[in-house]
Structure 1
């Protein structure tokens, strides 16, 4: 009897500790910004958990896997499935499983196979949900409850923790840059997935051109979309001013009537160097920015975000030649402020969540104050 009383008391304490406010409606209710976690390995350690707590960040869009078309199998297959290693502090978070599906998947797939794809995606998500729950609660159990418990008490508490935490996974987000030719197949997939995963709300990402061209691109059959306010230009074009975020381009896309669905907004927190030789695009130099240590030894700033290679240099595995041009693309404070103003005017009272792409501890730490300020600015819209 004493064991049962003790177990009931522990379960009651756990249920209180796990209670978190829900985020519904059109007004931002999150205490802090949400983030995308877009890696193939979930490695969230003590430093990550501490920074997330400092920013009052409670929600993550966690990339579970991608779906691409396999010519060999003549079928859609999962790729880059998430490997779960460390989930420090995730028992206090809410999560949206996110799946990226390539547009060519819907180009190749037959209509009759869409329901099968929806079933496979739903099953895979449930499987990873279970793996995530086990990682969060089984491996960190004794950190939270160091006192000695019987196997039965431990098992019951872990099961209760899993059940309570799983209730926080209320949606599945599908990310796809669908086109006019794949629109119907993609929309049919979203409807089919909702039928296969009735306990979740199916949501979709929305590119800026899909927002603007809604008459031809259609409105996805979901209740909520995530407007991705980045990748505003083609990095292959040397004439772009900033291929990641250009407020003038965003302004062109946001003209017109308000979108008829509840909307969340994703803003960029990444950068790259667009690399050209004799005007020909060579590739993207990931995570290169004006603040990169040592770049002043081989790059000379010519104007704005344009740099010229001053001497032959090996950067990671890329060989930069003297005279090459690097354009530094990214979410500069100036571009972000202009974009925030546009969002406040055009999407006023329609934004239900603000998320940043994506979680990288070093970058988030360096820009912590700015990110919090951006979030607060939109929260007050």
Structure 2
């Protein structure tokens, strides 16, 4: 009896510990040069971050011959031996829409370039991630590409997944990858209205219930970035990065007219961009309260607990908007 009780207690404790295990904290790194600032290094150290998802290059179409071409490959100016590196390749959907796409050739060249970058920088990786917002019209090419790439790489393969691909997975299909990363941002249309296109709870609510039915294990990507939507004559003329509310409040050329809108008082150049008098800048950002709300919603609706929470993206400009323990607080919601 005592022996049976001991084993029953041990099983209970193991199950309980498994339930209490938190997801790990990871970050996306989305610049073309890898060199960590003092602030970025501090955040990684304070949060015991050991895994970085680094954008290696984009793939677009050459405008001259409409063939796939890599854009802006990463350059490393710092050693990354202390981190588990996951190369991320962003493929524009128009590549997969190409009617004469040579999928075998694309898979081979993509993997070769990843390996070349790894070799040049003495990086050993056991996972590669493909980032592509594929559509109904491009799904056949995309799914075939994933199959070819997986056979070539012999590594763990992950893919980014959007909310619409979760809800309508029977139509959009599920790529043959080991795991997915749900991109829980960029939910709305970039528009001159007051809505936040990065995170919109009403839009998210339309998809959340679908998560329990999704067969593929999902980890999570949460946003910590902000941008300005540049509006002229009620039309969006561009997105402006590296800009936030606190910065505009200090600039005498801009006047805050409500919670999200700033008006240009006089024509000026800022960060190389020309702002005409009476232009508007709509600031879209993610507050700590937004992050906690996202975490709570996802925890209630995911089929399985995530193993990782990946924050997008690791940049000093983004990090200074949050307390350094925000990341630990967010993962504690799961």
Task: Report the TM-score when normalising by structure 1.
Answer: 0.77
Separation of aligned partners in 2, 1:244 and 1:72: 33
Q: CA deviation at 1:362?
A: 4.1
The aligned counterpart of 2:289 is 334
- Specify which of 191, 195, 202 is matched with residue 248 of structure 1: 202
- Give yes or no for contact 2:33–2:74 (8 Å, CA) kept in 1: yes
- Give yes or no for contact 1:211–1:254 (8 Å, CA) kept in 2: no
Separation of aligned partners in 2, 1:50 and 1:370: 12
Deviation string for 1:251-301 (max 9, x for gaps)? 222223431111111111111111111201121121211121654523333
Q: CA deviation at 1:27?
A: 8.3
Say if 2:171 is the partner of 1:197.
Answer: no
The aligned counterpart of 1:125 is 114
The aligned counterpart of 1:115 is 104
Q: Which ranges of structure 2 fall in alignment gaps of 5 or more residues?
A: 1-17
- Give yes or no for contact 1:30–1:58 (8 Å, CA) kept in 2: no
- Give yes or no for contact 2:165–2:172 (8 Å, CA) kept in 1: yes
Say if 2:31 is the partner of 1:39.
Answer: yes
Deviation string for 1:85-136 (max 9, x for gaps)? 112xx2221111100011111111535x1011111111111111112217xx
SS in 2 for 1:121: helix
Say if 2:312 is the partner of 1:323.
Answer: no
- With over 3 angstroms needed to count, the CA separation of the structure-2 counterparts of 1:301 and 1:337, relative to structure 1, is farther
Say if 2:87 is the partner of 1:103.
Answer: no
SS in 2 for 1:351: coil
Q: CA deviation at 1:338?
A: 2.0
Q: CA RMSD in A?
A: 2.3
- Specify which of 71, 76, 87 is matched with residue 84 of structure 1: 76
- Give yes or no for contact 1:246–1:335 (8 Å, CA) kept in 2: no
Q: Which ranges of structure 1 fall in alignment gaps of 5 or more residues?
A: 1-24, 135-165
Q: CA deviation at 1:319?
A: 2.3
- Specify which of 49, 54, 58 is matched with residue 62 of structure 1: 54
Q: CA deviation at 1:203?
A: 1.2
Separation of aligned partners in 2, 1:108 and 1:333: 41
- Give yes or no for contact 1:26–1:262 (8 Å, CA) kept in 2: no
The aligned counterpart of 2:175 is 220
The aligned counterpart of 2:5 is none
- With over 3 angstroms needed to count, the CA separation of the structure-2 counterparts of 1:281 and 1:79, relative to structure 1, is same
SS in 2 for 1:331: coil
Deviation string for 1:180-237 (max 9, x for gaps)? 0000100100000011111x111110112212221221111212101001111121x2
Separation of aligned partners in 2, 1:226 and 1:285: 26
